[in-house]
Structures are given as structure tokens and as C-alpha cells.
Amino acid sequence: MNREVRLFDEIDRFARGGEISHAIALTFGYDGDAAAERIWTPLIEKYGVRHPLVIASGIVEEGTALGVHVLRAPKASGVFHPKLFLAVREDAVFAAIGSANLTRGGLGANLEMLTPIVFARDEESAPPRAVLRDILTFLGTIVDGLASHAAAHSIGKVREVIRAAHIVLDGLPEPRRSSDLRFVHSYDKPLWEQLVEAHGNDVVTHVAVVSPFFEKDDPALEEGDSLLLYALGEGLPWAQRAKAPRCSLHVVAVGDGSDLPRAALESSGSVVALFVQALSEEPRRLHAKLIAVFGKKRTTLLWGSPNFTPAALLRSAHEGGNVECGLAMTTSAAQVSPEALSGELDLNKLFHLHDGPLPEARMPPRRQRPIFEVGEALYDGETRVLSIFGEVWSQKVARMVVLVDLGANKLTLAEAPLKGPGPLHIEALAGQLEEMDPETGRRRLRSLNVSYVAFDADGQAIAEQRARINVRFEDALELRGNLLLGAEALSADALLVPSAAPPEARVAALDRMISLWKAARHGEQTMITRHQASLDGFFRNVRGGLDARWEGLQRRRGSCFSLMRWSHDLRRALLAATKDETMDPVRRAYLVARVASHITRVLAAIPGWHNDPERAFSVLDAGELTTALDAVSLSNSVRPEITMDARAARDRGLAVLASAGKSGRKVRG
């Protein structure tokens, strides 16, 4: 808590200068501009992260970074409250779990607790594999819940991250000696229950709590619904002679604006000691959350997203509780005594014992059920269709209007009748979202912000939500500013080079291209698309790209992760070639022939790299690669012999893919 953990520095260390292939963040509240500035832009530009994903709830400001894909978690039941950051690179996964959201506060202004963990073969103090396994299971459950709330494409992106991390996990050995660290979440069981289970039957002598938020006084609640009272009573196996104070509560402040359960505090009296941060030397506002259970023999710690509230700790998400996650650890009492913990976290410096009166009782505001919610609006630059996903809860909603927010005026994009509660799904042709960029002459998005207004049967607007649209693109690097660069920026042949070029270079290349467009526009000259630009460039991209990939695979002896990435990259290149109608047929034939023989070569090498080649075959998506390779049309506009040569090479490639696919399925089956 006192030792500052900066998220980007940790990822930076984790990356080791290499490429980070995937990144996803879960957060409650999201400040897109702050996150882009501190995390995403450096990750994209320095480590080539493609399509970082955010699943958020609460106050979400997506910001202007179009390359970041923001999904909203459903608000239906409890609050979506986890804070988790996951990044994947070649054969390693990074996870950061704690209290920090991707908000200005979470990224620096608040006092947070954040635990970075690296899962890698050569990591010295590696945590148990189960931690990663449980994180991935947790993420999987979240994705399942997104089904009606986000586009299948976006959900697929999240699943890709999980899959990549799984491939890393599969290759990790169980560390010989590791701590008793566990990842916990609130989906199946209340966190409190898991905490108690972890602590076991060892009698409890003291509980220390750090939390910025607490349960509120609510006369409607039963006494058992007070977490504080529950914790002091039957919630824990208290030692008979546990001394007072049994519980030390570390809070932000006592007084106006701080929500403390006056009723529970009054009834527990001197059993609870109250420590406040407000007047300490620490200027940052407390946002960290920690529960420490001190027993005779053991100490059990739980930290992460949950505040000290019943919704976070006492109920599972299925029972209407929050979605929370965190880390739990049990050690011997000697190892972590109250004093040790206090010293370790500087609790005695950050907090001061509160001696004064208790705060006024405050009634919690009634939580209103939302009328509707949009989880994601995804714009497809190719089809120019805007797909809106979400859920309607209120009977009153009869009609929904989608407006482009152009600041001063609003433009109606779509209007749809709705029939009460249920999933919300609207598709609309939304070419109006685009305009020509006067500087480059390219397509760009006019506005990122879209408003959704729900009307009742009488035509009265009853609810409004504003959200930024996501853009469906395969590569975040293709988006600069609001420009929809798409396939024209990174065409099939160009896609084959990235492994040779560092992300900075690719970003720089895009910037160069944009400035070329600007210059061309300035000079009113026609720009030649990349395919026509240079046969030499095309050759270097294809040959250099394939050679670099082959060398990369050899260096890593065809590790499963590298094979997965390899397959992914080839598919993208082939897909781009399929889509690019301007591509010269000779170049296309050449590309197909060379990629096919490259595939043949790689698949032939796999048995030499792996004792268990089936597993390797299973990760490379032979089926999808087959589809991609087969989809590139070999036109007859060139001499038939050329097409024949390319076809023959492709057929050889497809044949080896077919047999690889078979042995891969055995494993998956």
C-alpha cells in the first residue's frame, strides 16, 4: 500500500522488450483518456498490443482512443466490481489484482493495493498454476454473462485472450515450492465463506480491515445483514478470550461524506477500534481493500476488489451480490502478526486512532433499477453497420432512438420499436457516422459519441444513455485518430512483416502513410495504394515476413504459443489478401504459393519440435487456417500456368493442414 506499484512499470518489466500480444482489463469505472495515456497508448506503441479490451461498469468514459475496445458489463444484479489486468506475451502471462480501477484515481491519485503476478516458466517466485487457472475460469464466466450485451465479435476477442493465456498455462510446470496464494472471486460462493474456509478452524483473535467503503445504515436490513456485526459474531470462529478491540477498522474519515455504519459501530462499542486516514501525511485518498484475520496459529489475508460490505463479501454474484475478485493467502501467525502487517503496510503511519464521536447515521439512497442499458455499440467499417447490444428492463420502454452526438446538434441514426424487457439488439446502417477527413481524404468517424434515448408509449423520453462506439477492426494499430485505415493501411503483404518490425516501427509507418496522404492531398496528386507501390516492397514483405516467422518458430522450437500466434498472423494476412480486390493477381498467386509452402514446411517441422505433436497441432487452428488459405481467390486473369503453380502449392498446404487438423482434434476431443 505504501510501496507504490505502478501498473505500467510492472507491465513494462514483464514485457522484457518483446511483444505483448493480448491485454484485457476489468474495472469499475473507466476513464478512457487517462487509461489511454498511462497504459494503452504506450502498450500499443511500444509492445504492439492489439485490440486491448476493457470490461467496465459504473461510470464509464470511453475516451477517444478508438483502438481500445470497451464493453460494459451488465448491471442486472449486483455491481460489477472486479479490478483485474491481464496481459499475455510469448509463453508468459501477467496479472495485476487489487483495488485499482482504470480511472484517474486508480492510476495514481488514490492509495491503492495492487499485486502484480507473472506466470512464466522462468519466474523465480512463481505462484501456483491454480491462480492463473482460476483467473481464466473467472474471466470465462464473465464472458458468458456478456452474451446478449456485446457483439459476438467482441466476445470472441475476449475468448481469444483467455485462450492465449490457457496455452501459456498449459505449458507451465507446477512450481515446486510456492506460497498458498489463491485467486478468489464471488461468482460461486460468497467471498466471506471462502475466507473462513481458508482460515479453517483456527480460532480468531483479531480482525483488521482496510476499506474505503462500508455497509450503510439501513433500517430495512436485518441485524444479520450487517457485515460488521456478523464478522464480530458468528461470522468467524472467535477465540473465547479474544481481547478488545477485536476489530480494527481502517477508514478514510469519520464525518461528512464518509459512510460508516453508525448503528453497527454503536452496538459493538469498544470491540471496534476506528482508525482514520484523513489527517495522515498521505495525501492520496484511500481506496485499498484488505481483510486480515489473525488466528492463534494462522493469519489469513484477503485483498482485491471487495469493500467491507455485505454485497461484496456476504453474497455470491448469483445471489445478487457483487462481482468481485481478489487474492487470498494463509500464513502462520508468527509470519504475519498484526504488528508485522501494520509495519509492512505502514498502517500506523497512514491511519490514526479515532477518539471522537461517531458520525451521523445516513440513509442510503434507494437504488433505482435502470430502465435499459447498452452494453456495446459496434461499428463495422466494412459494412457500415452499427450493431447495438444491451438489455431493456422496464415495461415502459416502447421505442428507442439512436442519435449521433455532434455536439451542437444530433443526428438520428436509427429508431426502433421495443417490446418491453428483454435483450436489446438493433442494427442500423450508419454511414452518417463517417465523413471524409479533409486533411487526408480518407474516411474517418465524425463522432464517437452516440446517445440512446428510450421513449414510452406516450412519446415521452424516459431514459438516456450515452456511450462511445467500438470499432470492429482486426488491429488496433490500424486506427489513428479517428481515421478508418483498415485494409488499405496494412494489406496482405504488409501484414506478413510485423514480426520483423517492432511495434514502434509499425506505428511510425502508419504515421508516415498518413502524412503521405496529407501531402498527396495537398499536392492534389493521386496516391498509389500500397500494393501497387512497389513490387520490391511486396517481395520483401512476403519473403522477409515468412523467413522471420520461420526463424522465430525455430528459435522457440515451435512453442505452442508461437504456433498460435503464427497461425493467427497468417490468417490475417490471407484474409487481407482475400478482401483486397485491388491486389494484382500475380502477387496474390505468389502470396498463396509462398504462404502455402511455408505452412507445409512448418507443419513438417512440428514433430521434430514436440514430443507430443498433437497438442501443437491443436493450438494452430488448422481448420481456420485451411479456410483462410482456401478463400484467397486465384483469378484466371493471369496465365493459367501461374495459377496452376499457385494452386498446386496451395493443395499441398491444404493436405498437410488436413492431417494436422485431424491429429489436433484428437487432443481437443
Partner 1 sequence: MDNVDLDQLTSFIGLDRDHQMRAVRAALEALLAREQRGLVLADEVGCGKTYEALAITALLWRHFRESARKIERVLVVAEPALMQKWFDEIEAPPAKDKSAQRGFQQYVASEEWTGFREMLRNATQIGHKWDGEGSGRREAGKFQVPAKRVYLVKPLLLSGDRTGDASPIVRWLRRTDWDVIIVDEAHHFTNLKSARGRVFFPASTPESRDRGLMGRFLLALTATPFQLASREMVNLLRVVLAPNHDLEQIQDGLIKYEAALDHFYVRRRLAPNDEGRRRAVERLYGLRTVDASGGARAGALGLQALLRRYLIRNVKDARDRDYSLTERSNGGYERRPFAKLDDLRPIVKASPLIPLEGDDAWVYLHLRDVLVDAHQASKGAEGDEKPSFIAGDLRQCLSSYEQLQESAILAKKLPRAEETKKIVQDVLSRGHVHPKIAALCAVVDGIVEREIAMLRERPHAGFQKILVFNTLMRTAGALRKALNQTVEARIGPFVEEQVRAAGWANMDDAREMVRSALRKEREVVREQLGAQFEARFLRVTRELLEGTGLEMKSESREVVDVMFERAENHCTQPLFLLRMALWLRGCEEQADEFGVQTFLMRHVGDRLGRSLATIVDDYLDDTPAQGEAFSEENQERARREIARLARVLAHPEYVARFDGEQASDQREMRRECFNRPYAPLILLVSKVGEEGIDLQQHTRYLLHYDVEWNPAKMEQREGRVDREGRRTQGAVNVQFFLLKDTYEERIFHTVMQRDAWFQVLIGSKRQELAKGVEDDPEDEPKGEHVEEENGRLTAEERDKVMIDLRP
Residues forming contacts to partner 1 in the complex (CB under 8 A) are 522-526, 528, 532-539, 543, 547, 584, 586-587, 589-590, 594, 638-639, 641-642
Please compute Rg for the chain using Cα positions: 28
List the one residue out of 151, 140, 162, 168 whose CA is nearest residue 556: 168
List the one residue out of 394, 369, 410, 391 whose CA is nearest residue 456: 394
For residues 545 and 595, is the Cβ–Cβ distance under 8 A? no
For residues 117 and 97, is the Cβ–Cβ distance under 8 A? yes
| C-alpha triplet 49, 52, 57: angle, nearest 5° | 160
- Look-up of cell digits 468514459: 61
Number of residues written out for the chain: 669
Grid cell at residue 298: 494462522
Grid cell at residue 115: 499485486
Alpha carbon 494 to its chain's center = 28
Q: How far apart are CA 318 and CA 141, in angstroms?
A: 12
| C-alpha triplet 39, 45, 46: angle, nearest 5° | 85
- C-beta of 417 vs 523, nearer to partner 1: 523
List the one residue out of 377, 467, 451, 510 whose CA is nearest residue 63: 467
List the one residue out of 496, 495, 476 whose CA is nearest residue 485: 476
DSSP string, 57-112: EEEEE--S-TTSEEEEPP-SSS-B---EEEEEETTEEEEEEES--BSTIIIIIEE-
- C-beta of 539 vs 609, nearer to partner 1: 539
> What's the closest the beta carbon of residue 659 comes to partner 1, in angstroms?
23
List the one residue out of 26, 41, 47 whose CA is nearest residue 479: 41
Q: How far apart are CA 418 and CA 398, in angstroms?
A: 5
Alpha carbon 49 to its chain's center = 12
- C-beta of 129 vs 540, nearer to partner 1: 540
Cis ω for the linkage preceding 245 (within 30 of 0): yes
- Give the residues across from 276 on adjacent strands: 251, 352
Grid cell at residue 78: 449486483
User: Which ranges in 180-326 belong to alpha helices (H)?
Assistant: 191-199, 227-232, 262-268, 310-313
Contacts of 644-652 spanning 24+ positions with Cβ under 8 A:
645/589, 645/593, 646/589, 646/590, 646/592, 646/593, 646/596, 649/592, 649/593, 649/594, 649/596, 649/597, 650/592, 650/593, 650/596, 652/596, 652/597, 652/600
Residue 515 has phi, psi (to 5 degrees) of -70, -30
DSSP string, 185-216: ESSSS-HHHHHHHHHTTPPEEEEEEE-S-B--
Q: How far apart are CA 418 and CA 457, in angstroms?
A: 10
List CB contacts of 643: < 8 A, sequence separation 6 or more.
589, 634, 635, 636
For residues 260 and 359, is the Cβ–Cβ distance under 8 A? yes
Q: How far apart are CA 86 and CA 102, in angstroms?
A: 13
